[in-house]
Amino acid sequence: MSLHYWQSGTGPPLVGIAGFGCAHWLLKPLAQQLEGQFCVVLPDNRGMGFSPKTDAPFDIEDLASDILTLIRRHIGQPVYLLGVSMGGFIVQQLLTMAPEDIKAAAIFCSTSGGPQFRPLFTFWSQRQMQKVLEMDPDAYAHWILEPVVSPRLASYPEAYDFLLKHRLLYREDLRQVLEQYHAMARFFVNPLDLAAVEIPVLVACGAADPVFPVANSRLLAELLPRGELKIFSDTDHLFFVEKPREVGQAVLEFFSGK
């Protein structure tokens, strides 16, 4: 599938992949910290933003194949790869299916598959998620920024305003969001062979992330042979929007020379 993408900056290509129910806008604050040294490419996953919608079910592997098509057809060289939350699932899939196309990677506020990891859906059942997705779009935009998901966000009013504005501006098709939900549920079932990944990977998270807790990021970093863990204090699942300068600097330092 051909994806829509937003691009800025100059330098080696860095592809940033947004998370669950979001389009490229989610990574724009971080992109502003990286575009001085990288050509930042932010695609919309299938069904999100301006990318084509689909009536057929899809898996995380399909979303990874979409990104791989973008890399090979439109970028044409190995890239630096960054994914947040569900975007981190896509990064992991690409690390195992196309390592030759990746120089280094960063996985933020994410987790992996298999019984070792605590899944998101231990407290977001399908029935609960269906009710959430039936909410009025304005109510949903406010709910997703509440403390149950982002307990530290109120301490970052600029980040809160940015997120609310863009969630209201980019009102995603909730049927497509539900398809992403099912794709994530299937991803959680089977572990990936992370021990075979030889690429350096920065694993980062917020210290107060209630969605995928620090323990998941710590385990992910341990399972990746060249994984490195960084925890950002006083932040939550949206730490890369709450502290974009600090997070951007960590990404630049990690990717430097790789």
Stretch (H or E) spanning 7: strand 5-8
Token pair belonging to 227: 């994984």
pLDDT tens per residue, range 209-251: 999 999 999 999 999 999 999 999 999 999 999 999 999 999 9
Residue 221 CB coordination number (10 Å): 20
Token pair belonging to 59: 């898996």
Give the closest residue to 92 by CA, choosing from 214, 181, 22, 184: 184
Structural domains of the chain, ranges and CATH numbers in brackets: 5-255 (3.40.50.1820)
Model pTM above 0.85: yes
CA distance 154 to 242: 10
CA distance 178 to 216: 24
Q: What is the pLDDT of residue 175?
A: 85
pLDDT tens per residue, range 16-31: 999 999 999 999 999 9
Low-confidence ranges of the chain (pLDDT < 50): none
Q: What is the pLDDT of residue 1?
A: 81
